[in-house]
Amino acid sequence: MEKTATLIDGKKTAQQIRNEIKAEVATIVDKHEKGPHLAAIIVGDDPASQTYVASKERAAKSVGMTSSTYRYPEETTEEELLSAIDFLNNDSEIDGFIVQLPLPAHINVDKVIDRIDPSKDVDGFHPVNVGKMAIGQPAYVSATPAGILELLKRYKIETEGKHCVVLGRSNIVGSPLSILMAKKAYPGNATVTVCHSKTQNLAGITKTADILICAIGSPQFVKAGMVKEGAVVIDVGIHRISADNEKGYRLVGDVAFDEVAKKAAYITPVPGGVGPMTIAMLLKNTLSAAKKEFY
């Protein structure tokens, strides 16, 4: 028998977290007669985004939270979207809300995120929350990086002194992860390298990673030859590739799973790895919002 990596089960871990949140929500409902309320704004009809928002709504309800989704057509102007945000900022019934990304090209995403009240920014995308996270103050942390740290913690993966290579430098995943993994904390205390589209000798660097976090946005980009024997491989990618099944597609990550699993010590699958954790951590942030933990 050939050896294979231990699977880091995000689906199972996310279910555990939802159970923990559900118990806390029940306590809040007992005391205040209402649960935390998460709202979502979605603009346009991108099928993947529709799926994500539906998952978030279902997950919120599954833990006893209230969930409201506000749907706007593709042609919605930036001004209209900003007004919708003002409305939710000022609605005391809403504990936290998200604006589903990506937005249509005619809308400036930075302006939109800037408009969200930081105390309701459960996605942790507002510059105030990003800044606080960066200097170690209590803040909403972007759900995907938070979910990855939670997986490392629950699987008791050692991070101190390890070389953590982050592939990708997005505002939502790569950048915050690189900051968090370098912090004096657990998980953290790692030596962090950020790689991106201009990185020279990429495979030479990834091969030195004890922990390899793949968030480049290119399907099955990371091959076995880029991975060190015994590495921990976290796959943040999520891509629909056409397949001969009912849906007409299947999901793959940024990692060529089958070949990399033979080399890694631990690996997250796609689906069922980081994705479900992203949703669970959004609920955790919403619970924090209802408890007014940070603001």
What does the binding site for ligand BQF look like in residue numbers (CB under 6 A)?
A: 52, 55, 101, 238, 270-273, 275-276, 278-279
Beta strand 239-242 with 249-252 is: antiparallel
Tell me 154's DSSP state: H
- Minimum distance, C-beta of residue 238 to ligand BQF, in the bound complex (Å): 5
Q: Is residue 100 flagged as an active site residue?
A: yes
Q: Which one of 123, 210, 235, 254 is the catalytic residue? A: 123
Residue nearest to ligand BQF (CB): 275
* Of residues 143 and 205, the one with the C-beta less far from ligand BQF: 143
Q: Is residue 56 flagged as an active site residue?
A: yes
Q: Is residue 15 flagged as an active site residue?
A: no
Token readout for 15 is 């279910």
- Supply the DSSP string of 37-102, one letter for each residue: EEEEEEES--HHHHHHHHHHHHHHHHTT-EEEEEEE-TT--HHHHHHHHHHHHH-TT-SEEEE-SS
Residues 233 and 269: beta-carbon distance below 8 Å: no
Sign of CA dihedral 97, 268, 22, 154: negative
* Of residues 85 and 190, the one with the C-beta less far from ligand BQF: 85
- Minimum distance, C-beta of residue 235 to ligand BQF, in the bound complex (Å): 9
Nearest to 209 by CA among 163, 262, 268: 163
Range list of β-strands (E), the chain = 6-7, 37-43, 66-72, 96-99, 163-167, 191-195, 211-214, 232-235, 239-242, 249-252, 266-267
* Of residues 130 and 282, the one with the C-beta less far from ligand BQF: 282
- Minimum distance, C-beta of residue 8 to ligand BQF, in the bound complex (Å): 12
Which residue's entry shows tokens 């969200």? 116
The Cα–Cα gap between 98 and 81 comes to: 12
- Minimum distance, C-beta of residue 15 to ligand BQF, in the bound complex (Å): 11
Q: Which one of 56, 120, 162, 284 is the catalytic residue? A: 56
Q: Which one of 9, 100, 120, 254 is the catalytic residue? A: 100
State the catalytic residues: 56, 100, 123
